[in-house]
Amino acid sequence: MRRPARREFPCHELPACATQNPMRHAMNTNLTFTGGCYCGGVRYQCEGPPLMRGLCYCRTCQAISGGSGNLFMAIDAKSFQFTKGAPRSFNKNDRPGSPTRHFCETCGVHLTARSELAPTAVLIKVGTLDDPSVFEGPQLVTWTSEMQKFHLLPSDVPAYPGWPSRNLPL
């Protein structure tokens, strides 16, 4: 399969569509998201609109997803809580700001991630949402520099060779 031609943005240059958060206006601010792991041992809930929606192709996300990219939704950490069970956590601490990942110790499903680089946000793994359709697709794609030949880029979505460091709503 051939990847569509697209413009990749340097990490310090964000297009207007990535610096604005259309979800703040498009979604009801009283929206409640729920989700959990495969076995049901760990559950979570959060309220409010997502801060952003993304797809990451970094090697770490490829490893934790089994080879594909990682679809995630960033939400305000103040609105997030685990409602059942307590996840295990892991941080490889291999670079500054490396994320702490939360997963179910029984079934192994990766639920969320937190990083000191975005202390006010929780990244929810889209596949753990009770209704993954609320994701509606990524607003940006990160770490395209580490993509594999079999990975596909969504059309009309800004893509970056690394993590865009400026102007994100996190």
pLDDT band, very low/low/confident/very high, at 6 (cuts 50, 70, 90): very low
Determine whether 11 is exposed, middle or buried from the number of CB atoms within 10 Å of its CB (0-12, 13-18, 19+): middle
Which of these ranges, 1-5, 53-57, 69-73, has the smallest mean pLDDT?
1-5
Q: Does the pLDDT at position 13 exceed 90? A: no
What digits encode the pLDDT tens for the residues 69-92?
999 999 999 999 999 999 999 998
- CA distance between the termini of the chain: 34
pLDDT of residue 168: 55
pLDDT of residue 169: 53
| Cα–Cα distance for residue pair 62/123, rounded to 1 Å | 16
Are 11 and 163 contacting, i.e. CB atoms less than 8 angstroms apart?
yes
Higher-pLDDT residue of 89, 25: 89
| Cα–Cα distance for residue pair 90/71, rounded to 1 Å | 19
pLDDT of residue 93: 87
Higher-pLDDT residue of 22, 112: 112
What digits encode the pLDDT tens for the residues 85-135?
999 999 988 877 788 999 999 999 999 999 888 889 999 999 999 999 999
pLDDT of residue 154: 93
Q: Does the pLDDT at position 1 exceed 80? A: no
Place of tokens 């970056």: 160
Which tokens sit at 104?
């179910």
Q: Is 32 helix (H, G, I), strand (E, B) or coil?
A: strand
Helix (H) or strand (E) holding 101: strand 100-103
| Cα–Cα distance for residue pair 4/6, rounded to 1 Å | 6
Domains of the chain (ranges, CATH numbers): 31-146 (2.170.150.70)
Whole-number mean pLDDT of the chain? 83
* Short-list 49, 10, 54, 13, CA closest to 31: 49
